Amino acid sequence: MINKKQSIAILNSTAPFASTNGKDALDLALIFGSYEQNTSLFFQGDGVYQLVKKQSPDKISTKDYLKTFAAFEFYDIKHIYVCAASLDQRALSDDFHIDNVTVLTTSEFSKELHARKIILRF
Amino acid sequence: MINKKQSIAILNSTAPFASTNGKDALDLALIFGSYEQNTSLFFQGDGVYQLVKKQSPDKISTKDYLKTFAAFEFYDIKHIYVCAASLDQRALSDDFHIDNVTVLTTSEFSKELHARKIILRF
Amino acid sequence: MQTLAVMVTTPPHSNLTTTAIDYIECAIQKGIKVIGVFFYQDGVLNASSYLSLPNDEYQSIKQWQRLNKEYDLPLHICVTAGEKRGLTDEIDDQTGKKTQTNINDAFILSGLGELVELSSKADRVVQL
Amino acid sequence: MQTLAVMVTTPPHSNLTTTAIDYIECAIQKGIKVIGVFFYQDGVLNASSYLSLPNDEYQSIKQWQRLNKEYDLPLHICVTAGEKRGLTDEIDDQTGKKTQTNINDAFILSGLGELVELSSKADRVVQL
Amino acid sequence: MTILHLIRSSAFSSNDLKQCISNIEHYDNVVLLDDGCYNINHPLMKQLQDKSSMINLYIVKDHAQARAVNFDDISKEVLNSITMTELVALTFSNDSVVTWQ
Amino acid sequence: MTILHLIRSSAFSSNDLKQCISNIEHYDNVVLLDDGCYNINHPLMKQLQDKSSMINLYIVKDHAQARAVNFDDISKEVLNSITMTELVALTFSNDSVVTWQ
């Protein structure tokens, strides 16, 4: 039995397709969410590429696991944070393929991360 | 049958222990050498850590594959090149655990690499 | 008693896995209760029963077996990650029968829910 | 006729492997003779016969099998890299008999010497 | 002897592109593919563009589009978009290939 | 809430250390282990040392010695050498752990 709620941060730092990190992190986030743990997703570094709009994974014969991001609300994922500095460095806008993403300064991002009991990074 | 000699560069860019890249590159170099192909080893980036003296892999329960570097001559490895800039960046000296290593400037290193027909990087 | 859960994502042939084994054993010897190790991503390769590392190299698989036996340490491998890497708990040979597993007996095939359970029980979760 | 040999070091579940497959098929269709693919490091995992990728994901293993069949493309997996990752060509079960392999039939277990041979014959060697 | 450089990783995460650049000579060809497409927006891209008179620089179109990497505002004189078949051709028009991944 | 940061990779090859540094707060603990030991000679080390009044910085001795990484000339007030058992203790004296690998 799951006997207590933990606050979990899943920290994404990898671009979506070359490795399975993004998909593996997503699977973890959904399972923690579905067990009603207090789960938040953090995107930093190349992880922010997972949020970019208008990607076409079909062009490289890859399944669009990013579509599942739309289900975060259903899985009770509490927060989705993205690091503003990581976006800036990559010349990316805050126009994401999902809603309810909170863009945080580096300092705010760090403080939110520090508020979690368990942090898993991919 | 091996019907012609090729010039091969094995380019090492990874530190020795965390991944098997160094060992895998070594195995390739020795087999190419033993088949009398014209084989040279190149060390650049974190690959230069493979040449550092006085390492003690036993402290982390790892087999000292670097010892095998002493057999390069026996396996007919033609040249061992290391990038001077990579050493400098890491505050490393040119005091290596094997002899006959040629330290090259970035430009010389690139020119030697360009002289090879096959380049495999680890 | 302090409790610990560990998630291992590195393969048996990496020295990073040696670090994980070393860390876990130090924790146990220090009196920490390690409630389980969850193998995810390439970490599942540690459970392959046909693994054959050269004799003179560090035998991570034997170390995991030893930790499992000596300290009753639960070793969970993620079933999805395992399937992606050729590890399965039922093999149909020509006869169509369920015959053998290619997963070492010291390891238990588990779902991701197991990690949630470990996380909810442990005082600390460490990814190595 | 121009000849090509390819070394693949990425696992079946990485999109980098999809790129390799795409590249090889484009080469063949362009009239290049691909004399062989040599799987090294994590690339050997492509040969696991118990591999099970989710149905809706890219099935690299089926693509390799297809390339092997349609174009007679030789697929060599490095025996040493395979053993480190649980791939073996003889499995001793309780009876001590050599029974089955966990390597897909489309692949051939080869030594590193095979890569030397491919390298000596090919006009170009590409690592993907 | 010219080298075909295959850049498969993001310079925001790894040191591969930087190492590649130190090994580029006159007439070499450089291709951005896979996660290498992200480098379009990396500061090191300027170093590559500065070499554009002495090298040819390419990007694999499908790989860039899959990642929503937009290269429209880079002049075709600096960056050429290619197909996988054209990448195969480049393999044979250069003397050797290095994969930076 | 304090974090124990485990640095397992070389900043000469990867971006992990840089990302870690942007997530360090007062009273956090930072440990160099595995290939993270190489960071002793990386320019980012200065940023870590500059924070030494607000954080504690450690290196796993066996991991450094295995790699012939010499840290003798760094003051113990800045960098503490520890054993694996001491690393376990740090795991519990901080509130959470992040692994940068």
**Distance of residue F6 Cα from the nearest chain A Cα, in angstroms:** 11
**Distance of residue A34 Cα from the nearest chain C Cα, in angstroms:** 9
Which has more pLDDT, D38 or D94? D38
Half-sphere exposure of C81 (CA within 13 A, CB side): 30
The pLDDT tens digits of the residues spanning E78-101 come to 999 999 999 999 999 999 999 999
Identify whether the C-beta of residue E84 lies closer than 8 Å to the C-beta of residue E63.
Answer: no
pLDDT the model gives residue D57 = 86
Q: Reduce the secondary structure of A19-45 to three states and give it as a string.
A: CCHHHHHHHHHHHHHHCCCEEEEEECH
- Give the nearest partner residue to B114 out of E1, E15, E99, using CB atoms: E1
- What percentage of chain C exceeds 90 in pLDDT? 77
Residue C93 pLDDT greater than 80, yes or no: no
Rounded Cα gap, residues A16 and D15, in angstroms: 10
Residue D65 pLDDT greater than 50, yes or no: yes
Question: Domains in chain C, start-ordered, CATH in brackets?
Answer: 3-127 (3.40.1260.10)
pLDDT the model gives residue A6 = 82
Hey, is A66 helix, strand or coil? helix
Residues of C in contact with F83 (CB under 8 A): 26
Chain mean position to CA A90 = 17
For every residue of D16-66, DSSP letters joined together read: HHHHHHHHHHHHHHTT-EEEEEEE-GGGGGGGBTT----TTS--HHHHHHH
- What percentage of chain D exceeds 90 in pLDDT? 77
How high is the mean pLDDT of chain E?
96
Contact check, Cβ <8 Å, E13/F15: yes
Which chain F residues have any C-beta within 8 angstroms of a chain A C-beta? Answer: 1-3, 15-16, 19, 22-25, 95-101
The pLDDT tens digits of the residues spanning F26-60 come to 999 999 999 999 999 999 999 998 888 899 999 99
Contact check, Cβ <8 Å, C127/F97: yes
Rounded Cα gap, residues B120 and D112, in angstroms: 14
Q: What's the whole-number mean pLDDT along residues C84-101?
A: 67
Identify whether the C-beta of residue C27 lies closer than 8 Å to the C-beta of residue C4.
Answer: yes
Q: What's the whole-number mean pLDDT along residues B22-44?
A: 96
Half-sphere exposure of B121 (CA within 13 A, CB side): 23
Q: What's the whole-number mean pLDDT along residues A44-72?
A: 96
Query: Tell me, which fold does domain A4-53+61-121 have in CATH?
Result: Hypothetical Protein Ychn; Chain: A, (3.40.1260)
Closest residue by Cα to residue D44 from D6, D12, D68, D16: D12
pTM for the full predicted model: 0.95
Residue E22 pLDDT greater than 90, yes or no: yes
Q: Which residues contact C87 (CB under 8 A, 6 or more apart)?
A: C44, C45, C47, C48, C77, C102, C103, D50, D86
Question: pLDDT band for position C99 (50/70/90)?
Answer: very low
Question: pLDDT band for position B5 (50/70/90)?
Answer: confident
Q: What's the whole-number mean pLDDT along residues D78-107?
A: 77
Contact check, Cβ <8 Å, C102/D100: no
User: Is D15 in the A-facing interface, judged by CB distances under 8 Å?
Assistant: yes
**Distance of residue C9 Cα from the nearest chain A Cα, in angstroms:** 10
Question: pLDDT band for position C32 (50/70/90)?
Answer: very high
Q: Which residues pair with C77 in a beta bridge?
A: C39, C109
Distances (CA, A) of E53 to E3, E24, E41, E98: 16, 13, 20, 21
CB atoms within 10 A of CB C108: 16
pLDDT the model gives residue A3 = 57
- For chain E, what are the domain ranges? 3-100
**Distance of residue B86 Cα from the nearest chain E Cα, in angstroms:** 9
Contact check, Cβ <8 Å, D120/B4: yes
Which 8-state DSSP code applies to residue B11?
A: E
Closest residue by Cα to residue C119 from A33, A115, A5: A5
Question: pLDDT band for position C89 (50/70/90)?
Answer: confident
User: Is C19 in the F-facing interface, judged by CB distances under 8 Å?
Assistant: yes
Mutate to test the interface with E, among B43, B49, B114 (most CBs of E within 10 A): B114
How high is the mean pLDDT of chain D?
91
Contact check, Cβ <8 Å, B46/F38: yes
Hey, is B54 helix, strand or coil? coil
Q: Which residues contact E19 (CB under 8 A, 6 or more apart)?
A: B13, B44, B45, E100
Which has more pLDDT, A93 or A1? A93
Q: Does the annotation mark D26 as catalytic?
A: no
pLDDT the model gives residue D56 = 85
pLDDT the model gives residue D91 = 56
pLDDT the model gives residue D101 = 73
Q: What's the whole-number mean pLDDT along residues B67-91?
A: 95
- Give the nearest partner residue to D14 out of A19, A61, A63, using CB atoms: A19
F3-100 carries CATH number 3.40.50.720:
no
Which has more pLDDT, E49 or D71? D71
- Closest-CA residue in chain E for D18? E34
Question: pLDDT band for position C25 (50/70/90)?
Answer: very high
Q: Which range is least confidently modeled, A105-114, C56-65, D5-14, F31-40? A: C56-65
The pLDDT tens digits of the residues spanning F70-101 come to 999 898 889 999 999 999 999 999 999 999 99
User: In this prediction, does ipTM exceed 0.90?
Assistant: yes
Q: In the sheet that C107-110 helps form, which strands lie side by side, from edge to edge? A: C107-110, C75-78, C33-39, C3-8, C124-127
**Distance of residue E1 Cα from the nearest chain A Cα, in angstroms:** 31
User: Is D88 in the C-facing interface, judged by CB distances under 8 Å?
Assistant: yes
pLDDT the model gives residue C77 = 96
- Give the nearest partner residue to B60 out of C15, C54, C56, using CB atoms: C15
Residue D98 pLDDT greater than 60, yes or no: no
Rounded Cα gap, residues E92 and E94, in angstroms: 5
Contact check, Cβ <8 Å, B18/F8: yes
Q: Which residues contact B71 (CB under 8 A, 6 or more apart)?
A: B30
Annotated catalytic residue within D21, D61, D78, D87: D78
Contact check, Cβ <8 Å, C124/F92: yes
Identify whether the C-beta of residue F58 lies closer than 8 Å to the C-beta of residue F31.
Answer: yes
- For chain B, what are the domain ranges? 4-53+61-121
Interface partners of F (3+ CB pairs, < 8 Å)?
A: A, B, C, E
Q: Which residues contact C10 (CB under 8 A, 6 or more apart)?
A: C16, C17, C20, C42, C43, C128
User: Is B112 in the D-facing interface, judged by CB distances under 8 Å?
Assistant: no
Residue A32 pLDDT greater than 50, yes or no: yes
The pLDDT tens digits of the residues spanning C46-81 come to 999 888 888 888 999 999 999 999 999 999 999 999
